[in-house]
C-alpha cells in the first residue's frame, strides 16, 4: 500500500515538474527554417530576346523587414537536352517602390521544345529550383484557299494547341514591278482564331492582306503585276505555366512564376490560280 502511495506521489511530482518545465517555455518559432532556403522567382524565358532576366527575392522573416541580400546567391540554368550549364549575372535595380530589387540575367536565346532548369542557391547549398519547358511547334496544317476574288481566305490549323497565342504576324515577301527589289511586308494579326477539337484555327485573309501590301508599297489596288515570292506566319505562344500562374507546379521550394515564351514560324505555298485571282504574279520558288 505504501509502495503504491509512493508510486502515485512520484507520478504526481513528475507530472507537476513536467507542467512547470513545459510552462516555462515561452518562445514561439513563427518561421520554419528546418528546410532549405526558399526564394521567390519571377520571370520567364523568352525566345524573342537574346537576354533572359529573372527577378529573385529571398523570403523575408516578416512583412515589413527589408529585402534580404542576395550577395552569396548564385542563379544558373541547365539545358536538359544538351546539359549546357550557364551562370546568370546578378544586378541590382531600383523598384518602383524605391527599394532595391535583385535581378539576374543571362545572354542566350532559348530554343523551341527545350527544357531549362533554373537553380537558385546560396553558398552552394540547395535552394530553389524552377523548370521551364519552351513550347514545341505544333503540327501545322494549311487548308486550300477558299472564296472568290473579293473574299479569299485560307484556314490554318495548329493541331493540339488549346490556348490563345500571344501574337500572330503574317510575313509576305513581294517584288514590285518597278524592279525596286524584294520587300517584306509584316502584318500583325493579333490573337485571331478559336480553339476547336482539332486545335487552334485561324484564317488568313488574303484579299485584305493584298490591299495592305499594295498600300505599303504605295500602289493602287488595281495593280496586278506585283510578284508574290512567299508567305509565312510567326506565332508567339505561352508555355503551360501561363495557364495557371498561381499554381507553382513547376517550382520546387520556391514561390512566384517561371514560364517561357516560344516563337515559331511556318511558311507555305499558295496555289498559282488563287494568286492570279488575287492579282499577284506567282514568284514562289518551289524546290
Burial class (CB in 10 A: 0-12, 13-18, 19+), 237: buried
Task: Examine residue 125 and tell whether it contacts other proteins (CB under 8 A).
Answer: no
Binding mask 259-278 for other proteins (x = CB under 8 A): --x-----------------
Judged by CB under 8 A, which of 70, 73, 75, 103 binds other proteins?
A: 103
# binding residues, other proteins (CB under 8 A): 48
Q: How many residues does the chain have?
A: 287
Q: Kindly tell me which of 94 and 150 has the beta carbon lying closer to other proteins.
A: 94
Q: Which stretch binds other proteins (CB under 8 A): 53-61, 80-88, 155-163, 176-184?
A: 53-61
| CB 28, min distance to other proteins, A | 6
Cα 174–Cα 176–Cα 181 angle in degrees, nearest 5: 75
CA distance 59 to 158: 41
Instruction: Report d(CA 58, CA 70) in Å as an integer.
Output: 7
Cβ proximity to other proteins: between 36 and 76 the closer is 36
Q: Which residue from 44, 202, 264, 280 is in contact with other proteins, where contact means CB under 8 A? A: 44
Reading the block at residue 116, the C-alpha cell is: 531549362
Using rule CB under 8 A, residue 104 touches other proteins: no
172-231 binders of other proteins (CB under 8 A): none
Handedness of CA 192, 114, 86, 246 (dihedral sign): positive
Measured at the alpha carbon of residue 228, what is the angle toward residues 223 and 234, in degrees to the nearest 5?
125
Q: Can residue 78 be called a binding residue for other proteins (CB under 8 A)?
A: no
3-state SS assignment for residue 226: strand
Residues 2-21 as x/- pattern, contact with other proteins by CB under 8 A: -----------------x--
5 contact partners, CB below 8 Å, separation of at least 6 = none
Residues that bind other proteins (CB under 8 A): 19, 22-23, 25-32, 35, 38, 40, 42-44, 46, 53, 55, 57-65, 93-97, 101, 103, 166-167, 236, 238, 242, 244-246, 255-257, 261
Amino acid at each position: 500500500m505504501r509502495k503504491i502511495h509512493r508510486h502515485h506521489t512520484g507520478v504526481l511530482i513528475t507530472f507537476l515538474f513536467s507542467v512547470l518545465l513545459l510552462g516555462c517555455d515561452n518562445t514561439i518559432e513563427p518561421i520554419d527554417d528546418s528546410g532549405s532556403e526558399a526564394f521567390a522567382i519571377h520571370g520567364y524565358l523568352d525566345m524573342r530576346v537574346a537576354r533572359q532576366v529573372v527577378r529573385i527575392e529571398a523570403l523575408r522573416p516578416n512583412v515589413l523587414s527589408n529585402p534580404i541580400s542576395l550577395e552569396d546567391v548564385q542563379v544558373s540554368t541547365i539545358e536538359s537536352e544538351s546539359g549546357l550549364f550557364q551562370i546568370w549575372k546578378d544586378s541590382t535595380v531600383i523598384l518602383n517602390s524605391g527599394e532595391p530589387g535583385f535581378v539576374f540575367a543571362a545572354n542566350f536565346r532559348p530554343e523551341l521544345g527545350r527544357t531549362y532548369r533554373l537553380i537558385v542557391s546560396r553558398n552552394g547549398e540547395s535552394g530553389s529550383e524552377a523548370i521551364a519547358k519552351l513550347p514545341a511547334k505544333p503540327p501545322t496544317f494549311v487548308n486550300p484557299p477558299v472564296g472568290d476574288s473579293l473574299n479569299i481566305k485560307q484556314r490554318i490549323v495548329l493541331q493540339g494547341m488549346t490556348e490563345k497565342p500571344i501574337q500572330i504576324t503574317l510575313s509576305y515577301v513581294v517584288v514590285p514591278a518597278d524592279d525596286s527589289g524584294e520587300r517584306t511586308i509584316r502584318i500583325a494579326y493579333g490573337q485571331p482564331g478559336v480553339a476547336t477539337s482539332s486545335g487552334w484555327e485561324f484564317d488568313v485573309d488574303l484579299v485584305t492582306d493584298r490591299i495592305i501590301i499594295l498600300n505599303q508599297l504605295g500602289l493602287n489596288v488595281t495593280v496586278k503585276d506585283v510578284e508574290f515570292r512567299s508567305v509565312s506566319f510567326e506565332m508567339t505562344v505561352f508555355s503551360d505555366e501561363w495557364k495557371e500562374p498561381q499554381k507553382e507546379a513547376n517550382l520546387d521550394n520556391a514561390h512566384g512564376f517561371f514560364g517561357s515564351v516560344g516563337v515559331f514560324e511556318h511558311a507555305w505555298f499558295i496555289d498559282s490560280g488563287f494568286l492570279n485571282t488575287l492579282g499577284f504574279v506567282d514568284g514562289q520558288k518551289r524546290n
